[in-house]
Every structure is written in C-alpha cells, then in structure tokens.
C-alpha cells in the first residue's frame, strides 16, 4: 500500500498510517450476479487526500475513536468491522484501539471507509507479526466491500469481477486532480439499484482493457461512469460542476464512484490550484487539489 507507515518511538506497539482516497476514472457495469452483486470494470487511482489511522494494542476488545467528520460508530464502522474479522481469522485473543482522523468526506464516492478498512487490516497484520498472507488479507477485504481489495494494493489498477480481480496499471500518467464534494451523501447501494443494466458489450470491454496496456493512451478520452446518469438524475446541479471544471482548464471531468464527488484532471499543479481557488469561491462543500499517487 503506497502510504506512509511509521512506528511510534514512544510506543513500539503502535502504528500510524496515512490512508488515501481514490478516484474512479472508469466505471462500467458488465453484469449482475445471482447474489445481487454487480460485476464491473473500473480504473482506480489513489490520490493524496488522506485520513490518518493510528492503531495500538490493548488487552481486549476493539475501540474506535473518530474525529474530523461524522462516521458510523461501533460495528457499523468499517475499521471496526475489519479489526473484528482480523481477530476472528487469526484467533488472536487480544484487542486494538484505533484512532481515526477523517479528512475524506463520507459517502462521497472517494472510498474513505474502504481505505480505512484496508489500512486497519494491514496495520493490525504488521503489529502482530504478519500472521496473514496476502490471500488471507484479500479474502477479508472482499468480505468488507468491493473497493477494499484495491486499497490493499494501493496503486493505479484496473478492477474486474466485483472488484476482486485487480491488475496494476504500469506507468500510469501523473495528473493533478481538483475534487469537488458537495454537502450531500449518496448511497452506493441505491445508485447501483437504480442503474439501468445496459451492459457494456464484450468488444467494447476488450477495447477498454487493451487501452490500458498502452503507454500512449489519452486518459481523458476514456473517462466514463455508468452511475453518473443515476446520481445526476437526482442531483442535476452536479452537471454544472463538471462544466465549471472544463471551463477552468480540466483535461476531462467525471463523477467518482456513486458520487457526489466530481473531479477534473490537470497536467500542472499551477492550473489545478488556480481552478481550485476559483471553485472554492462559489461552491458549497469541499474542494481539494491533490496529486495522483503511483
């Protein structure tokens, strides 16, 4: 996972991680399984917008303390659920205290909860001497959510299936991103339920996959999200954010995940910063200017 890992010099039984958000540069629905899960093809890119996770050992029980933004508590919190599954899987009869500082907006399409869960699994596994191999961690991650396996990998990747089949994308181009997150929350489950299953044809899917095996692919040309029309249908004002990003010089713009976050791609930090300042003047919600991580 491409984040900073730091053991505390004051307490060797503590670990701290920077936990990145993600953007979907592509999200195509390709099928529906009997269990109700949607099969997808997606391109994930981690970005330098971080939660901070601090994990320490305790004699028993799991305690999650959060600050920064309102998040679910107790067993509804993904970090708590990840810790529970870790101890169940390993049989370790101890506990953990998890301190989470939330900077990534909740239910925003940026994957903050999934990233927190993956970082919790990796941190606990490191603290207890790596009792789980990659396969064991991945199995727990998938049981927690379709985006969680990506955050174990933590680099640009194409995901298939329900998110469990991951292929890193080599030499992914470096962009700056301006992310606008309006003050609304969108349920991922709702968005998928409302999506019309006009499934991506096999020949189009093959073309998409092939394009990411090339180093000269023009990324803005392939920006696409099958959930965008669903969320825009309920919140039409989101279209104006896309328009503003393009007018301010973005190479392309798209909604991430089920939204409501809208992002634009920029070749330079200067252009991204200038666009971010302009958007912050008349946009309700959060505006982030961040670099993609590779």
Instruction: Give the active site residues.
Output: 22, 147
Q: What is the 3-state secondary structure (H, E, C) of 151-180?
A: HHHCCCEEEECCCCEEEECCCCCCCEEEEE
Contacts 24+ apart (CB under 8 A), 11-14: 11/56, 13/56, 13/57, 13/127, 14/54, 14/55, 14/56, 14/57
Residue 284: Cβ-neighbour burial (10 angstroms; 0-12, 13-18, 19+): exposed
How far the first Cα of the chain sits from its last, in Å, is 10
CA–CA separation, 82 vs 271, rounded Å?
39
Residue 243 CB neighbours (<10 A): 12
Judge if the upstream peptide bond of residue 159 is cis by omega within 30 degrees of 0: no
Instruction: Determine contact, residues 182/238, Cβ cutoff 8 Å.
Output: yes
């Amino acid at each position: 996972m491409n984040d900073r890992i730091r053991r505390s010099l004051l307490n060797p039984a503590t670990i701290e991680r920077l936990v990145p958000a993600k953007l979907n540069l592509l999200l195509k629905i390709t099928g529906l399984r009997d269990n109700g899960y949607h099969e997808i093809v997606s391109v994930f890119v981690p970005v330098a917008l971080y939660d901070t996770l601090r994990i320490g050992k305790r004699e028993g029980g799991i305690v999650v303390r959060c600050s920064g933004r309102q998040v679910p508590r107790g067993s509804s919190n993904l970090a708590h659920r990840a810790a529970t599954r870790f101890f169940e899987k390993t049989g370790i009869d101890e506990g953990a205290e998890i301190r989470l500082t939330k900077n990534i907006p909740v239910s925003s399409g940026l994957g903050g909860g999934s990233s927190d869960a993956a970082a919790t699994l990796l941190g606990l596994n490191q603290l207890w001497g790596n009792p789980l191999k990659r396969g064991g961690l991945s199995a727990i991650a998938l049981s927690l959510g379709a985006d969680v396996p990506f955050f174990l990998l933590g680099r640009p990747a194409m995901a298939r299936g329900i998110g469990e089949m991951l292929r890193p994308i080599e030499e992914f181009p470096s962009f700056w991103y301006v992310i606008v997150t309006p003050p609304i929350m969108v349920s991922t489950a709702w968005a998928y339920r409302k999506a019309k299953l006009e499934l991506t044809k096999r020949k189009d899917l093959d073309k998409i996959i092939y394009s990411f095996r090339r180093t000269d692919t023009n990324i803005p040309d392939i920006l696409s999200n099958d959930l965008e029309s669903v969320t825009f249908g309920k919140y039409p004002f989101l279209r104006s954010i896309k328009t503003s990003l393009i007018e301010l010089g973005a190479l392309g713009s798209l909604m991430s995940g089920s939204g409501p976050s809208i992002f634009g791609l920029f070749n330079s930090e200067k252009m991204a910063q200038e666009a971010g300042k302009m958007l912050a003047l008349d946009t309700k919600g959060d505006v982030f200017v961040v670099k993609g991580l590779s």
